[in-house]
C-alpha cells in the first residue's frame, strides 16, 4: 500500500489531500492539548499530508516549533511551499530518523493506512512522551450491514484496517501505551462536503448520541476517536 502514497494514485483520488478538514481536526487537537496540559514547544506530525493541520496549530500555539514528516512527494511539495519560520516539512519517514524527540507526536488519521500498524505504533513511542491519535471508527452495525461504505474507504482513501472504540484503545494499550484521555469527534456530522446519506443521518446520530454516545457510535457510526496516550 505504500506505493499508493509514494506515487500519484492517492493524489488523483483525493486532489485536495483533505485540506478542507484540517481546521476542524486542528481545533480538536488543540482542545485536547489544552485539556491535558501537554507541552507544545515541539510538535511533530507523522503523515502530515499537505501540512494544513500543523499550520493551523502554529497560529494557535505561538511559541511552538512544528515539524511535519510525509512520505508522499506530491503532498510534501504542497506542504514545503507553505513552510514558515516555525513550521518545517520533511520528505522522510519519521520512524527512520534518529536522535529526535518532541513534546507531542500527532498521528491524525494515519494508522488505518499503515500495513504493519502495530510496529508503526510501537516505534512512535521513542520520539516523545505524548502521542495524539485520531482514528476513524469505520466499524459500526450500519457500515457492516451496508458493506459498501467500508469498501469505498478501502478503494478511495486507502483504509486497510478498521476500528471501533474498544479495538482502537486496546491496540494502543497492547503496544505499550497508557491512555491518558479520549473523546469522540463527530466527523460525519461536522466535516464539510459530506455525502447525501451522511447529511441524512445527522439528526438520528445526534439524537442517539445524546441518549447513549457509545451505543450511537456502535450502531450508526459517523464518529472518530481522538486519543491522548503516553
Which CATH number covers residue 56?
A: 3.40.50.150
Residue 46 lies in a domain: yes
What is the pLDDT at residue 36?
Answer: 98
Residue 94 lies in a domain: yes
Residue 199, H or E segment: helix 196-200
Separation between Cα atoms, residue 90 and residue 67, nearest integer Å: 8
Residue 96 lies in a domain: yes
CB atoms within 10 A of CB 37: 7
Residue 80 lies in a domain: yes
Closest residue by Cα to residue 218 from 174, 172, 166: 166
Number of separate domains in the chain: 1
What is the pLDDT at residue 229?
Answer: 98
The grid cell for 116 is 504493519
Residue 115 lies in a domain: yes
Question: Residues 155-158: contacts with CB within 8 Å, 24+ apart?
Answer: 156/13, 156/14, 157/13, 157/14, 158/1, 158/4, 158/5, 158/10, 158/113
Could you tell me the CA-to-CA distances from 62 to 41, 85, 89, 111, 178 in Å, in that order?
9, 12, 18, 28, 29
Per-residue confidence in pLDDT tens, the chain, 230 aa: 556 666 666 767 677 778 889 999 999 999 999 999 999 999 999 999 999 999 999 999 999 999 999 999 999 999 999 999 999 999 999 999 999 999 999 999 999 999 999 999 999 999 999 999 999 999 999 999 999 889 998 988 899 999 999 999 999 999 999 999 999 999 878 876 766 676 777 888 888 999 999 999 999 999 999 999 99
pTM of model > 0.85: yes
Closest residue by Cα to residue 60 from 43, 46, 47, 76: 43
What is the pLDDT at residue 4?
Answer: 64
Residue 105: which region, alpha, beta or left (left: phi > 0; alpha: psi -120 to 50)? Answer: beta
| Those residues with Cβ within 8 angstroms of residue 217's Cβ, 6 or more apart along the chain or in another chain | 137, 140, 164, 165, 184, 209, 223
Do β-strands 102-108 and 224-229 pair in parallel, antiparallel, or remain unpaired? unpaired
Separation between Cα atoms, residue 124 and residue 118, nearest integer Å: 10
Residue 163 lies in a domain: yes
What is the pLDDT at residue 131?
Answer: 98
Q: What's the domain range around 140?
A: 2-187+223-229
Separation between Cα atoms, residue 204 and residue 190, nearest integer Å: 14
| Those residues with Cβ within 8 angstroms of residue 10's Cβ, 6 or more apart along the chain or in another chain | 4, 72, 74, 158
What is the pLDDT at residue 5?
Answer: 66
Residue 199 lies in a domain: no
Residue 41 lies in a domain: yes
Separation between Cα atoms, residue 192 and residue 3, nearest integer Å: 28
CB atoms within 10 A of CB 100: 14
Amino acid at each position: 500500500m505504500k506505493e499508493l502514497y509514494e506515487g500519484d494514485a492517492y493524489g488523483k483520488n483525493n486532489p485536495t489531500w483533505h485540506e478542507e478538514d484540517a481546521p476542524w481536526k486542528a481545533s480538536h487537537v488543540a482542545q485536547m492539548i489544552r485539556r491535558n496540559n501537554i507541552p507544545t514547544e515541539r510538535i511533530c506530525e507523522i503523515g502530515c499530508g499537505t501540512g494544513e493541520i500543523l499550520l493551523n496549530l502554529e497560529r494557535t500555539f505561538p511559541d511552538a516549533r512544528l515539524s511535519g514528516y510525509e512520505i508522499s512527494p506530491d503532498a510534501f511539495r504542497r506542504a514545503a511551499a507553505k513552510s514558515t519560520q516555525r513550521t518545517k516539512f520533511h520528505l522522510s519517514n519519521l520512524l527512520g530518523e534518529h536522535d529526535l524527540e518532541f513534546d507531542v507526536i500527532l498521528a491524525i488519521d494515519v494508522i488505518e493506512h499503515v500495513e504493519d500498524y502495530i510496529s508503526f505504533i510501537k516505534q512512535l513511542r521513542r520520539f516523545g512522551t505524548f502521542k495524539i491519535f485520531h482514528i476513524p471508527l469505520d466499524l459500526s452495525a450500519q457500515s457492516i450491514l451496508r458493506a459498501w461504505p467500508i469498501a469505498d474507504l478501502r478503494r478511495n482513501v486507502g483504509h486497510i484496517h478498521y476500528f471501533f472504540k474498544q479495538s482502537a484503545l486496546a491496540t494502543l494499550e497492547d503496544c505499550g501505551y497508557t491512555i491518558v484521555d479520549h473523546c469522540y469527534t463527530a466527523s460525519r456530522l461536522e466535516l464539510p462536503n459530506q455525502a447525501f446519506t451522511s447529511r441524512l443521518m445527522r439528526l438520528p446520530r445526534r439524537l442517539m448520541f445524546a441518549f447513549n454516545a457509545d451505543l450511537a457510535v456502535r450502531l450508526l457510526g459517523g464518529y472518530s476517536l481522538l486519543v491522548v496516550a503516553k
